[in-house]
A = this chain, B = another copy of it.
Amino acid sequence: MKLALINSAWESAEKCRNCEIRNLVLFADLTQEDFNLIHLPIDDYDLEVGETLYNESMPPKFIFTIRSGMVKLVHWLPNGNYRIVRLLRQGDVGGMEALNATPYLHQAIVLQKTSICRIPVEEIERLNRESPRLHKRLTSRWQKAVSDADIWLAHLTVGSAKKRVANLLLYLEKNCEQGLGKSLLLGREDIGALLGITTETASRIIAEYKRFGVIRQTSDPLVVDIDKPELQQIAEND
């Protein structure tokens, strides 16, 4: 993992102020004055597929916002298998457990080329004390993390495997960067780890959806066109 650039304090504050997705993330409500409070460097950099953003054994000194791309939060099981606990997408914040001075809870692994903004916990704490606007944002991010987890549970762990896969594809469509009607197609093992089914079952279902044209390959092998109404049908009835 290489940082693209270590910014000086001034530079990073400048960057944040001009960040085009700022309204999605933590610093949306900060004023010029707030930005002047930033002392430590906020780094931004890209990670490639398979790289690790953070894991359980790293010192929990940063939180991360996702500017673009997709990250999986992985919980390893004793037997070497793993479970994907959540996905982070544009605007999501990862590693917030660092704000409580507790170790990171998961390994965060990049699924798609991902652009990250890495913020020192110390900086958050300073702003938190000195800017009520950040505090509010932070609270609502936490809220989002909880409700995301709940939605996950309610939709992605009930019903037949077919339903779950359909729901997952719909979930991944929502902000697939390629535009609507398309969905990120994860590896079959990841789909399994996400939905609590085996790799083979995931593969069979994806293959069947392909055969029936419910999903169709695109030029990018990681992205598929989806037949949204059909998937919604499957997700609800069946």
Contact = CB atoms under 8 A, between A and B. Distances in A.
Interface in A62-113: 73, 75, 77-78, 83, 85-86, 96-97, 99-100, 102, 105-106
A132 interface: yes
- Number of copies of this kind of chain in the complex: 2
A150 B108 CA distance: 14
Interface size class of A (residues with CB under 8 A): 35 or more
A153 B96 contact: no
A150 B75 contact: yes
Contact of A99 (B83, B139, B157, B236): B139
A27 interface: no
Contacts of A128: 135
Interface in A140-162: 140, 142-143, 145-147, 149-150, 152-154, 157-158
Contact of A154 (B83, B132, B154): B83
A41 interface: no
A120 interface: no
Given A105-B150, A129-B132, A135-B135, A83 B143 contact: no
Contacts of A140: 100
7 contacts: A75-B154, A86-B150, A102-B143, A105-B147, A106-B150, A142-B142, A142-B143
